[in-house]
Amino acid sequence: MRSRPAKIRTTALRVLPVAAAVVAVALALPATPAAAQTAPAQTTRTQAAPSAVPDPVGYHFTGYYSRLADCENRGRDGVNRNQWEGYICINGSWFPGDDYELWVRYW
């Protein structure tokens, strides 16, 4: 006379190889052409990289600063010392507040 756990174990042993075969076949199949054509369109970025943004016209890059206050202080200091006529501190990173670029305008 068989006990109930033996039947469950026998059924599990029959189902397990079939499930493993289905998973193996699914992993071995190549991607469909339609999915391969739509993937690049979904991953295209719409925001331009900081390096793709054009330089401010008439200004020259002088350096990076980790804080906006440091960038503005250096720009203001250069104007007060007559090293340059004006300055701009712009975000130089993908993440706002990560770093700032000091751009100066000479005479």
Name 93's Cβ contacts closer than 8 Å, sequence gap at least 6.
50, 99
- Residue 97 Rama label (left phi>0; alpha psi -120 to 50; beta): left
Strand (E) positions, 5-99?
A: 60-65, 86-91
Q: What is the pLDDT of residues 13-70, one digit of tens each?
A: 566 676 666 666 666 666 555 545 554 444 444 444 555 567 899 999 999 999 999 9
The residue with tokens 């068989």 is 2
Domain spans of the chain, in order of start? 4-43, 50-105
The pLDDT score that the predictor gives to residue 37 is: 53
Strand (E) positions, 2-105?
A: 60-65, 86-91, 100-105
Instruction: Please state, in angstroms and rounded to a whole number, the distance separating the CA atoms of residues 86 and 105.
Output: 5
Q: What is the pLDDT of residues 22-33, one digit of tens each?
A: 666 666 666 555
Q: What is the pLDDT of residues 69-95, one digit of tens each?
A: 999 999 999 999 999 999 999 998 887
